[in-house]
Amino acid sequence: MIDEKKEELQAMQMKARHLKRHLLRKNLRKTNTRMEGGWRGRRRLIIVSVVVVMVVLISSMSVLIAAGATMQTTQQQYQHQITTLADILPKDNLKMYDMHGKLIYQMVDSGLQTSVPLSSVSPFLVKAEVATEDATFWSNPGFDVTGIVRAAFDDLSSGHVVSGASTITQQLIKNAIVGDDVSVTRKLQEIMLAPDVTRYYTKSQILSMYLNTIYYGEQAYGADAAAFTYFNLQDQPGKPAASQLDLAQAAMLAGIPSAPIGRDPYLHPQAAYARLQDVLGRMYTQHYITRAQEAAALAEAQKPNFLHHGVVNNMVAPHFALYALNELSQDVHKPINSLARSGYTVYTTLDLDLQNKVLAIAQQHIAELVQSNNVTDAAEVLLDQHNGAIRVLLGNINPTKNQFDIAAQGYRQPGSSFKPFVYVTAFEEGLSPGTPVVDGPLSIPMCCGQPPYQPHNYDLRYHGLITLRTALANSFNIPAVKLLMQTGVNKAMQTAQKMGITSYEGTPTYSLVLGSLSVHLLDMTSAYGAFATGGIHIPPHAIDSVKDMQGHVVFSTQPKGVRVVTPQSAYMITSILSDNAARTYEFGPCSSLSLYSNSTYDCYAGNPGTVRPAAVKTGTSNDFRDNWTIGYTSDYVMGVWAGNDNNTPMVNVIGVTGAGPIWHDSMLLAEQGKPVQNFPVPSGIVQATIHYPGITTTDWYMPQYVTTAAASWFHLNLGGAYGVTPTKTPTKNKKNG
């Protein structure tokens, strides 16, 4: 019994051990299964982690490789621009000055820009721009890491680009080198190039380039143009507009470049003022200004007259400026539309003060003629015949309203003022001012069934046997036509063209000696200058010199004269045109052609004052449509036209009463302070007394023609009426064209 229980107990213990082993194995299998699953998970995690790390490493390497390639490409592409940055920056707009340094014209087609040294920029603007655009400018390597991170965070937070984080150096690179595309590549290029720019240029140079070219809105580029545009500050010698900016003005300008339209104080005054507050706040925070200065600047900006729009005045001398611009285009071989931002400073020959005074004289005289004589306009040209410099060019008397330049662009009939070209041609062939000519009826047969050409004198009279001096001095027509018949139309026309008549309208015929061709006043004045210089023609010019932004001379006019007639022939013309006694028959002793210093009344009373030697000729076209006076002294040659723009006839106006008084007063004005000088007599000319049939004269001759002088007059008068009795000299002054 006991043994059975013992066996039963042992059997139960055995079962318990088997059950325990079973449970242990079962738990072990579960543990193993769990551990195996865990290792599988960890293996997967490890594999994924390794893959991620490898991807990151590969991506990083790719980014680094790409960044390296981009940097290399960027540097290769833009390295030249970096080293020549100062040269590729936008150039200043073209500016034109008169001979005394007064600004007369600016090309504004592509905006205003005037580069000035950093030392000539207001310290307030320098501090305001740095405080606003690049607080670490003076110490950063061209980019600001903190700013880039902050900008990236701002952009990510807002979901779009709200901050550029561009330093002043980066903005300069963007504007001058890489462009302003909104892209990551362009931003990377800025950052990559910034250290190179910082290494190549000093901070002062970078800031100077930035302040001279940054866009301030309203077509104003750079600080100097902005100072003028928003506050009407004017450039003065040694004191550019940019140097005159005060704190409030500087802070206002510093707030504009980041949004030139949105913060334009003219268009959006509230936004501009808010930005002004921000700029001043930054300047205070960065210890550039005090609270008191900040408050004073804010108060100033709220005043009604704080802004004062500067306006470019290109109507100071519009006719001259346009002429000079066209001349410049030819001189530098560039089209006009490419000159706007050429950076050129153009120094011209114009005497602006003198031109304004001459304009006032012309306006006064025309005002006196407009009602009774139907004369509404005038044009004037004054040249220095010694070098061709144009001192005055007035296309009309209303230059701010009337853009048409009659002097240089208009074609007008010169009347008798064309006669000296025919006379000098005859003198070149051996005739003399003392050569006789018969002033009588003349009929020239014409071809093809046309009626004969029969010229008449202005006074409708014949004056018999006279000298060429008397004929030209009194502007008789028939002797002039006879002279043209002897010289020939072609030869006379060649002389006129050599002397400066560059173009004309009409057909040269026998009537050209009476001024039937239409020509430019500028050409006529220049051609008369060849008489004044003893037969040497120097073409007129408006440009003296041109300099680039570095002050280098790009172009300089070198006047070159060409001999067109002999000194002797030129002097013969001068002798006749300056002979007041010879022209007294037609013009009287005290006409406007004589440069006496006292009044006309005093002159007729026998007290003319100082009389300055002057050679002068008048001209009046058919139907009194054009009225001319052209003359010269030893200093200047001046041409004056009077008439109507619409070519309607004047009433009872001829050269001595229309253009003559304008010429007289203007020439006296131009001659103020100049010494009184006679015209020099050239060598190779002699005074001789010659006995002609029916007349004896004493006048100037070329020595080689003295012996043949007595016979030469027969050729001149083959078509004339010899022996006509001269008319009696009238007691009252007769006017002539």
Predicted confidence (pLDDT) per residue in 197-212, tens digit: 999 999 999 999 999 9
120-124, 168-172, 496-500: lowest mean pLDDT where?
A: 168-172
Alpha-helical regions (H) of 255-317: 269-285, 291-301
Measured CA to CA, the distance from residue 306 to residue 269 in angstroms comes to: 11
Cα-to-chain-centroid distance, residue 419: 36
Cβ-count burial of 363 within 10 angstroms (0-12 exposed, 13-18 middle, 19+ buried)? middle
Residue 103 DSSP code: E
pLDDT the model gives residue 189:
80
Checking if the pLDDT of 535 tops 50, the result is yes
Greater confidence (54 vs 610) lies with 610
Checking if the pLDDT of 441 tops 60, the result is yes
Largest CA distance in the chain: 201
Say what percent of the chain tops pLDDT 90: 74
Q: Which CATH class is domain 101-301?
A: mainly alpha
Other beta carbons within 10 angstroms of residue 100's beta carbon come to 10
Measured CA to CA, the distance from residue 307 to residue 232 in angstroms comes to: 8
Checking if the pLDDT of 716 tops 90, the result is no
Domain boundaries, the chain: 2-77, 101-301, 360-716
Note the pLDDT tens digit of each residue in 303-353: 999 999 999 999 999 999 999 999 999 999 999 999 999 999 999 999 999
Tokens coding 524 = 């006529």
Checking if the pLDDT of 46 tops 60, the result is no
20-24, 442-446, 595-599, 661-665: lowest mean pLDDT where?
A: 20-24
Taking the CA of residue 285 as centre, how many other CA atoms within 13 Å lie in the half-sphere pointing to its CB?
Answer: 10
Checking if the pLDDT of 369 tops 50, the result is yes
Note the pLDDT tens digit of each residue in 109-159: 999 999 999 999 999 999 999 999 999 999 999 888 776 666 555 555 555
Note the pLDDT tens digit of each residue in 272-310: 999 999 999 999 999 999 999 999 999 999 999 999 999
H or E element at residue 522 = helix 521-532
Give me the mean pLDDT over the 503-513 stretch: 95
H or E element at residue 414 = none
pLDDT the model gives residue 143:
87
Give me the mean pLDDT over the 544-559 stretch: 96
> Under CATH, which number does the domain 360-716 receive?
3.40.710.10
Greater confidence (693 vs 523) lies with 523
Q: Are 639 and 392 in contact (CB under 8 A)?
A: no
Give me the mean pLDDT over the 574-597 stretch: 96
Which band of pLDDT confidence, cut at 50, 70 and 90, is reported for residue 26? low
Checking if the pLDDT of 12 tops 70, the result is no
pLDDT the model gives residue 55:
46
Give me the mean pLDDT over the 220-237 stretch: 97
